[in-house]
Amino acid sequence: MGVSVRDPNTLSNYAAWLTKHTTANLTIDFDEHALKGRVDYRILSRTQKESNEIILDSSFVSVKSVSVGGSPAQWELKERHKAFGSPLHISVPEGAAEGDELDLSIELQTTKECTALQWLTPAQTSNKKHPYMFSQCQAIHARSLFPCQDTPDVKSTYTFNITSPLPVVASGVLESETIGENGTTYVFEQKVPIPSYLFALASGDIATAKIGSRSKIATGPEELEGAKWELEQDMDKFMEVAEKVVFPYKWGEYNVLVLPPSFPYGGMENPVYTFATPTIISGDRQNIDVIAHELAHSWSGNLVTSCSWEHFWLNEGWTVYLERRIGAAIHGEPERDFSAIIGWKALEDSITHFGADHEYTKLIPTLKGVDPDDAFSTVPYEKGFHFLYYLEKLVGRDNFDKFIPHYFTKFSGKSLDSFEFKETFISFFDSLGDEEIKKKVAEIDWEGRFYNPGLPPKPDFDTSYVDQCYSLAEKWKDSSYSPSKSDVESFSANQKLVFLESIQKFDPPISSERAKLLGDAYDLLSSQNVELKAAYYHIAMGAKDTSSYEGVSDLLGRVGRMKFVRPLFRGLNKVDRELALKTFEKNKDFYHPICRGMVEKDLGLE
């Protein structure tokens, strides 16, 4: 078959064997903080030559026993690789012919070192009544739940048989619930093949309500009404626009689980159940573009997947592109460029953080031997978006809109790399037979777009929504300017954000007195919108307003989303390292293991 291994972040031999179906029979043990049980795999031999051994990714998993075809098998966990874990080698002495399938079963239990799970005590949840557990497998943390081919280049269908004393959600469609001695067993089916990083579980005091014709919201009982209000107005609209741009939704239901505050991401696009940060529930419906983004992943990332984390822009660049098309369809075309301007600022910040020549600022970085979490930033999101935005402008919106369903249909259910994307793009526009477009496509600098570090060429954005923000920021350059609440009355939350980001760029920064005035005049400290609060605190820290530092520390104890946590810690570390270290020490058990590890690196505590 000659399958090539395209993912440098897996130790599995997926070129020789391919997982077709995975059944996770797991019990959630809240007392021991462990998942226990058996995982069954249906595995296809891709080659006769190397078929006498199956190698799976594994990290900190306690393997109890392994059987192949119903008989005990010889197995060994090899020496641990710092980033990639301890590969599990399973002997298949008879080998297998190409095309043969075999059944593999592993009895196992997760350990305290598991990086994919966060266990919350009742005290860490909002109503303080029950414990809570949730998983986060992206990028390479599924291997700490159970041995697997932990690469986006392998997709498997899944059955989840999960037993818990508390309600469970998973990245599949719920088929049945059976009450037993150890709790209720929930059976979920995922019939669309997915990569391991989309395996997801959560269990806790979870209640649900309808927010659309195909959608439910799930969250804590006390938060249910607020979360329902935040999303029910737009959920079906988001779905209709996305289906119009690409093609009909393939996953049955689209639901949203709003997690406790320690969830480290804005959202995680687990199929059927997006896992979302509670920071999107801001009481003003101003932060729900996160849901448009996660919904868009149902096509880009979940259905059509990058084959490795080096080509991650194919997941995220496309998703940001689709998210902004949804925003434009609902709020008007200038909204897209407005969102792109905010994104450009985030891209500049990431590139400043890494350095303009850094490997991780390339669209396709080299990640051999590297933990992909270390390279995580807005670069694949925004630089990926800008590449697609450039291609759309080059060939024209109408032509690009014909390409979108072609691309997603061609690679539906598959994983691909950037070179396959390039080849598909060129051949599609060749086949249109438009000589002028053909000529334009022939002039694309693919090499430069893929491998140049730093910022891409900046497009001319439609600035109609930002001009008011810049104009108000300009007034603040005059230290005698006297602000009033009416300055920002007509602004959306995102316009306020652009205004605050403009102030943040002032050189020299505004004085600490002016920073205080800014917070008071526009009610930024009392805002429930974490985006605005965090942006204001960056200005206050830049202004050396010492009275704000405790507020930063307090926010860091209530929010676990890395988008806010990491930059706020870096900012606080610059102005008051002692407080930064004290804050981290106090809250480190509140943070998800992925977030905790990244902040330790940011603070130089590794």
Which residues are tagged catalytic? 294, 381
Residue 435, burial from CB neighbour count under 10 angstroms (0-12, 13-18, 19+): exposed
Annotation-wise, does 286 bind a ligand? Answer: no
Q: Residue 270: CB partners within 8 Å, gap ≥ 6?
A: 171, 198, 200
Question: CA quadruple 77, 78, 81, 84: dihedral positive or negative?
Answer: negative
* Alpha-helical regions (H) of 443-523: 446-451, 467-476, 493-504, 512-521
Q: Residue 372: CB partners within 8 Å, gap ≥ 6?
A: 9, 139, 140, 309, 312
3-state SS class at 163? strand
Annotation-wise, does 269 bind a ligand? Answer: yes
| Ramachandran bin of 585, using left for φ above 0, alpha for ψ from -120 to 50, beta for the remaining angles | alpha
DSSP per residue over 277-301, as a string? -GGG--SSS-STHHHHHHHHTTTBT
- Amino acid (1-letter code) at residue 352: T
d(CA 532, CA 243): 32
As a three-state string, the secondary structure of 312-365 is: CHHHHHHHHHHHHHHHHHHHCCHHHHHHHHHHHHHHHHHHHHHCCCCHHHCCCC
Neighbours of 507 (CB within 10 A): 5
| Ramachandran bin of 395, using left for φ above 0, alpha for ψ from -120 to 50, beta for the remaining angles | alpha
Query: With b meaning 16 or more CB within 10 Å and e meaning fewer, what string describes 508-530?
Result: ebbebebbbbbbeebebeebebb
Residue 597, burial from CB neighbour count under 10 angstroms (0-12, 13-18, 19+): middle
Annotation-wise, does 133 bind a ligand? Answer: no
Annotation-wise, does 561 bind a ligand? Answer: yes
d(CA 131, CA 133): 7
Annotation-wise, does 137 bind a ligand? Answer: yes
- Amino acid (1-letter code) at residue 454: G
Per the CB < 8 A criterion, the answer to whether 360 and 379 are in contact is: yes
Annotation-wise, does 197 bind a ligand? Answer: no
Per the CB < 8 A criterion, the answer to whether 4 and 308 are in contact is: no
Token pair of 568 as six digits? 């706020």
Annotation-wise, does 316 bind a ligand? Answer: yes
Annotation-wise, does 268 bind a ligand? Answer: yes
Question: What DSSP character marks residue 561?
Answer: -
Annotation-wise, does 138 bind a ligand? Answer: yes
Which of 198, 149, 205, 212 shows the shortest CA–CA distance to 170?
198
- Distances in Å between the Cα of 221 and the Cα atoms of 129, 230, 263, 452, 519 are 11, 15, 18, 49, 33
Which of 238, 247, 349 shows the shortest CA–CA distance to 293?
238
Q: Residue 565: CB partners within 8 Å, gap ≥ 6?
A: 264, 556, 559, 591, 595, 599
As a three-state string, the secondary structure of 506-538 is: CCCCCCHHHHHHHHHHCCCCCCCCHHHHHHHHH
Annotation-wise, does 591 bind a ligand? Answer: no
Neighbours of 378 (CB within 10 A): 22
Per the CB < 8 A criterion, the answer to whether 241 and 100 are in contact is: no
Annotation-wise, does 307 bind a ligand? Answer: no
Token pair of 325 as six digits? 């098309």
Per the annotation, where are the binding residues? 136-138, 264-269, 293, 297, 316, 561-563
Per the annotation, where are the binding residues for a peptide? 136-138, 264-269, 561-563
Per the annotation, where are the binding residues for Zn(2+)? 293, 297, 316
